[in-house]
Chains A and B, each alone.
Chain A
C-alpha cells in the first residue's frame, strides 16, 4: 500500500478487452467446475464440504467480476473502500445473526431431522 503514494491505481488500462476475455474464460471454467464437483457426495467426507467448495468457487467468480468487469481494480481508493465496507457489513450481519442462532438454543424441535 505504502508504495502507492502516487495514484497509479486510477485510470483504465490501454486494452482492457484481454482482461474481459480472461475473466469470461475464468467464469465459464469455474461454472463447469462447480457443476462437476456438485455431482459428488462430499458430505460423506465432511458435512459442509459440498457447500464450502461451491461457495469458494462462487467467491472467486464474484471477485473476478468485481475487480475486472466492475473496474474496481482501476477505481479510486474511495470506491475500493466502499466495496470492502459492503463485504464487511454483510459479514457482520451474517456472523452476528448466526452466532445468536447457534448459541441461544432456540432451534425448533427435531433440528436436522428433516
Chain B
C-alpha cells in the first residue's frame, strides 16, 4: 500500500516536471521579448490593475493553506474537516476566476485585447485624460506584452478551471466516504497540483503586474 502511494506521488511529480517545462517556455518567451521591448513591457505592465492582481495573489495563498489543511485532515481520516477545507479551496479558486474575468472584461472594454479586430487603444493625443492611452510608437511593443499577458494568465486560468473540476470531484468522493486514513492518495496528489498552480502565479504576479508599478514615479 505504501509503495503504491509512493509510486502515485512520484508519477505526479513527473507530470509536474513536464508542467514546469511547459510554463518555462512561456517564461522564456517573456524574457526574450522583454529584452527586445523593455519600454513596451514597462508601459504594458503599467496598464494592469495591481489591486486586482494583488487580491488574487492573496486569494491563491489562502487557497494553498486551505488545500494543505485538506490534505492534513485526509491523512487524519477526518472526513468532515476534509470536505470543509476542500470546499473552502474550491470557493477561493472560483473567487480567483471571477476577479480574473473582471480584469479581462476591463481590458477588452478598453480595446486592449491584442487580437485583430479587438486591439485599438487610444493615444494620449486622442484622449489626454485616459488611464489606458498608449503612445503611437509603443502600441506594437505593448501589444506583444499584452499577448504574453493573456497567454500566460489564460493558461494559468485554464489550470485553475481544471483544478476546480478536480476539487469538485474530490468533494463528491469524500461525501461518498471514499477517503480513509489509509487511502487518501487522490487528495494528496491533487494538493500537489493545486500548489503548483499557485507557484506559477507567484512568478506571474511580479513579472506581469509589478514590472511597471514604479512607472511614472521617476
Contact = CB atoms under 8 A, between A and B. Distances in A.
B129 to A, nearest CB: 23
Given A20-B68, A24-B65, A90-B21, A34 B206 contact: yes
Contacts of A105: none
Given A16-B72, A38-B213, A55-B206, A86 B20 contact: yes
* Majority SS at the chain B contact face: helix
B54 A94 contact: no
Interface residues of A, number: 54
B211 to A, nearest CB: 7
Nearest to A51: B211
Max count, chain A CB within 10 A of own CB: residue among B54, B69, B213: B213
Given A93-B21, A93-B25, A111-B36, A58 B206 contact: yes
B84 to A, nearest CB: 15
B27 A114 contact: no
Interface stretch (B7-15, B120-128, B161-169): B7-15
Interface in A95-111: 97-98, 101, 107-108, 111
* Majority SS at the chain A contact face: helix
B87 interface: no
A113 B38 CA distance: 8
Interface stretch (B90-98, B108-116, B197-205): B197-205
B97 to A, nearest CB: 19
A82 B14 contact: yes
Contacts of A42: 214
A86 B22 CA distance: 11
B207 interface: yes
A94 B9 contact: no
B72 A54 contact: no
Nearest to A72: B13
Nearest to A66: B199
Interface of B: 6, 9-10, 13-14, 16-17, 20-21, 24-25, 27-28, 31-32, 35-40, 50, 54, 57-58, 61-62, 64-65, 67-69, 72, 75, 137-138, 140-141, 191-192, 195-196, 198-199, 202-203, 205-207, 210-211, 213-214, 217-218
19 contacts: A17-B72, A34-B206, A35-B50, A38-B213, A44-B218, A62-B203, A65-B198, A66-B195, A69-B65, A69-B195, A69-B198, A82-B14, A85-B17, A86-B16, A87-B20, A94-B28, A101-B35, A107-B36, A111-B35
Interface of A: 12, 16-17, 20-21, 23-24, 27-28, 31, 34-35, 38-44, 50-51, 54-55, 57-58, 61-62, 65-66, 68-70, 75-76, 78-79, 82-83, 85-87, 89-90, 93-94, 97-98, 101, 107-108, 111-114
Closest 8 A/B residue pairs (Cβ): A54-B206, A38-B210, A86-B17, A38-B213, A114-B141, A41-B214, A82-B13, A24-B65
